[in-house]
Amino acid sequence: MELTIRQLNDTDYENILLDWWDQWGWKAPKKDFLPDEGKGGYIIYDADIPVCAGFIYVTNSKVSWVDWIISNKEYRVKPKRKEAISLLIESLTNICKMSGSKYIYALIKSNNLIKTYESLGYIKGDSYTSEMIKVL
């Protein structure tokens, strides 16, 4: 079966993504922290099985931010899993480019995900940064 992509909808956050963050033992970002209340991204399917998803933040500059890449930990079809994640990042990149962005920023901790980004032409920035968030 071929991989397909679609935009996230109103129910994906609650019905799919929260479970994935839990599978990986990660704390899910709040829905209102994500672009378009959790709908500002895309999800990849293998037939009717959701595989991975990610988000695009739009800025008031020529920079887009591609982030919160998450996957279904229980989906272990190789090499399709890697293909799905590559397709997702490549698609998010192309959407940013078509929207007029010149640069794409990504904040990544996973070494495997870093390798995928690099294989798609991304380069590493500074590594001495710390993630800082203030909830108002």
pLDDT digits (tens, 9 = 90+) for 93-128: 999 999 999 999 998 888 999 999 999 999 988 776
Alpha carbon distance 9, 78 (integer Å): 27
**CATH 3.40.630.30 for domain 3-119:** yes
Q: Is 94 exposed, middle or buried (0-12, 13-18, 19+ CB in 10 A)?
A: exposed
pLDDT digits (tens, 9 = 90+) for 16-52: 999 999 999 999 999 999 999 999 999 999 999 999 9
pLDDT digits (tens, 9 = 90+) for 45-58: 999 999 999 999 99
Q: What are the structural domain ranges in the chain?
A: 3-119
